Chain A
Amino acid sequence: MSLLEITDLRVGFDTEDGLVQAVRDISLTLDEGEILALCGESGCGKSVTAMSVPRLLPPETTRLSGSVRLDGRELTTLPEADLRHVRGKEVSVVFQEPMTSLNPSFSVGYQITEVLRRHERLSRQAARSRAVELLELVGIPAPQRRMKEYPHQLSGGMRQRVMIAIAVACSPRVLIADEPTTALDVTIQAGVLDVFRDLRDRLGTAIILITHDLGVVADIADRAVVMYAGRAVEQAPVAELFANPRHPYTLGLMNALPSAAVGGRLAEIPGMVPSPLSDPDECAFQARCPRAQGDCRAARPPLERHADGHLAACFHPGGKQ
């Protein structure tokens, strides 16, 4: 049994235009100490998939079905009161925006000790010394002094490290990192990724990394799930995925990387993402796909096994041309 098992997850949101289906029948697993990347473009459902684990979606408008099991415990039906003991303790989240994700009215030290006192029932003293250790763990110099500082006194990279320190304070089983490096500049990105790697090695934390940056995926992830229009279109160990991409969308993403630019021009994927309001029985990518044929419009390709641990949903899979 895996640490985290998501089965047939569907998430939709009630809007004035009708039900917007953000996630469609996603199934995935996460093992202890594994770093899993969820990648795809904006709106493909990667964040919604991850946020469904600790149920951080607005309850009034969210329509969720399927199963999310952490250590065999079903989270989708867990009462809100019990869920509070899961959030921050067993499943933590690091958000994208380090500049605005810390409470401006309290010191950094207070915000870390707060979580420790809530979930671990530590004394003020014990929580403080643990907080200093955590700041050290995420690579913040002079942690004693930083404890007393307020968020506005810290740089973006430092704030992101504080966010990570808060997220891992209670040694969660699963850490969800939602584009944790997007708002940071490149040199700081590498440092933050090192912190994640270090946490995984030292604490055995499993990490779900949400990103649209394939560079980050290649750098740190063990396995990747590529999502498109709410579905997983390809899933593989990272080395295998980069060596042998099967789905034309994955290939398109790789060709759109600046390092892959030919003749100084970035290759883009033509066309638009289909509307999340409708879901015709066809491949969602067919309108933009260079390999699309009649069968792509006649039925939706199922997620099929192509090699060991390598799944792709395409009638005409192939490697790099």
Chain B
Amino acid sequence: MTRLWRRFKRRPMPMAGLVLVVAFVLLALIGPLVTGDPTAQDYLATLAPPSGAHPMGTDDLGRDAFARIAHGAQVSLQAGVLSTLLAMAVGIPIGLVAGFYRRWLDPVVMRLVDVTLAFPFLVFAVGLAAIIGPSLKGVVFALGFSQLPAVIRITRGEVLAVREMDYVAAAVADGAGDGHLIFRYVLPNCLNPLIVQATVAIPGAIIGEATLSFLGLGVQPPTPSWGVMLTTAQQYLSDAPWLAVWPGIMIALATLGFNLLGDGLRDVLDPRSGR
């Protein structure tokens, strides 16, 4: 662990990513506590430019943009983390079982994965929004489902490789049962690429949440979300351009941070990516 950290911290880009991610998480956790009510309206100061009272300005209803960005960070973080956790919680067991037992199960699962991959994500999200109503819950399900094929594939591929390792054969020779082999031998040694996958999936989900909310399929106004903020800002692009700039920058920085972190983790954790 310390060895990995030492290798990790020597690289400037992953460290920058880590800083961005930590800043994003802090903003999401602490920001909503220190900023005011994101839905409090002030009709005396609509579309106000950034100032001392409103560091990021206000929107068309006079709501403080900074408070909305901070609360929006919370929504983004939830969408990113929860959907990824959901995909991992469902996908890892499926990939483990398919890769470990093979036989008829493996081809069936993999063809299903192919079918899922062929299904357009947005169409699925629209369908889901129609069924359970547009909400953060719907966003998490839609994003989680769209990540599922990648998680299953990666897990299965790792399992196929790991179960051929000498230490698995040695464990069989020591009388280990299937459950023990799967959870003590195969799963722990499959985790590295999945950790990397998570750092790639989370920013994808953040963008996905913003996209769905922007289109009105996700988080609904007045709840602040970066996507919702962009929708509003669209109408006032010439009068109050900062309203579009803040959420745009935030989405870009949060995504960049996770991606840089993920690249760094991949270099450190995955021996196959060279060095």
Contacts and interface: CB of A to CB of B under 8 A. Distances in A.
Nearest to A91: B173
Interface in B132-173: 165-167, 169-173
Given A95-B166, A100-B167, A106 B188 contact: yes
B176 interface: yes
B175 A101 contact: no
A166 B174 contact: yes
Contact of A88 (B174, B184, B188): B174
The range of chain B's interface size is: 10 to 19
B185 interface: yes
B165 A118 contact: no
Given A87-B175, A166-B174, A95 B188 contact: no
B170 A163 contact: yes
| Majority secondary structure, B binding face | helix
A86 B165 contact: no
Nearest to B191: A105
Tell which of B170, B185, B188 has the most Cβ of chain A within 10 Å. Answer: B170
Tell which of B166, B174, B184 has the most Cβ of chain A within 10 Å. Answer: B174
Interface of B: 165-167, 169-177, 180, 184-185, 188-189
Interface of A: 54, 56, 84-89, 92-93, 95, 97, 100-106, 114-115, 118-119, 163, 166-167
28 contacts: A56-B173, A84-B176, A87-B172, A87-B175, A88-B176, A89-B175, A93-B170, A95-B166, A95-B169, A95-B170, A100-B165, A101-B166, A101-B167, A101-B169, A101-B170, A103-B167, A103-B185, A103-B188, A103-B189, A104-B167, A104-B189, A106-B184, A106-B188, A115-B174, A118-B174, A118-B175, A163-B170, A167-B174
Given A104-B167, A105-B188, A118-B176, 16 more contacts: A56-B169, A56-B172, A84-B176, A84-B177, A87-B174, A88-B173, A88-B175, A88-B176, A89-B175, A92-B174, A100-B165, A101-B166, A103-B188, A103-B189, A106-B184, A167-B174
